Amino acid sequence: MTGVIRAGFVGLGNIGKPMALRLAATPGLDVHVYDVAPEPVAELVAAGATAAASVAELAATVDVVCVMVRDDAQVRDVAAEVGNGAVLVVHSTVAPETPAALAAAGMTVLDAPVSGGSMGAADGSLAIMVGGVEEAFAAARPVLEAMGSKVVHAGPIGSGTRMKLARNLIHFVAFTAVTEAQRLAEASGLDLVALGDVVRHTDAITGGPGAIMYRPTTAAIPPDDFWHGVFDHVRTLGEKDLTFAIALADELGVDVPLAREALPRLGKGLGLA
């Protein structure tokens, strides 16, 4: 990094504060912060950042404004004060159309939601998914790389948000599946904490749901394709284990609707006929 980049951060909550602290600890960044709560601002000032009295004051002194606030309405309020000068980087997870609407109003906007939670924010290991024009991405990239270990330019404006929503669909559907598994395990007299330990251990080895996400398309797999054999094996194992799990659930009187939906959908979803 050459020269000094002036970076602003608005929204110093559970994830925003550790993100901003990462910026304050990065050489070559002149960091300015704003939040309605005085305590996190004081913590950032102690870490070397400069406090701004308003979003407008902050935006007037920086090149890039990062925003991590609660919802679309707060993002729009911040954007109205930022105006058309600095690059506005929206880290909040908003509706897919919100970043494009801000860009259409004349602002230079990147939608850049994050994945990794407060732990990833604290240690700088966030995944940051970015949508927007290449020039804006290039301008903000040094700032983004100070906060995340994986920064992906997903495509035009709105692409970062769409990637985050696809990623979190996995997250929360999987959480719902876990609740089914916990009910089944509990009805079987198993230790749920021990089961959780096993799940985290094996997911760290296999990659969890992301282990099947290497193909560039969801189209059907030709029989002579390498992935056909791999996924046919996955389907065989999956259908066997789902069948056994559903039978056990029936025996124990446990409701497992996601498992029942998954059984007939697994093969087709993998791209197999």
Count of CB atoms situated within 10 Å of the CB of 27: 7
Which among 17, 164, 240, 268 is annotated as catalytic? 164
Q: 164 an active-site residue?
A: yes
Q: How many helices (H) and strands (E) does the chain have?
A: 11, 9
Any idea what DSSP says for residue 212? G
Give all strands (DSSP E) within the chain, no chain letters.
5-10, 29-34, 50-51, 64-67, 87-90, 109-111, 114-115, 126-131, 148-155
Q: Which residues pair with 109 in a beta bridge?
A: 88
Instruction: Give the span between the Cα atoms of 22 and 44, in whole angstroms.
Output: 10
DSSP state string for 67-101: E--SSHHHHHHHHHHHTTSSEEEE-S---THHHHH
Active site residues: 164
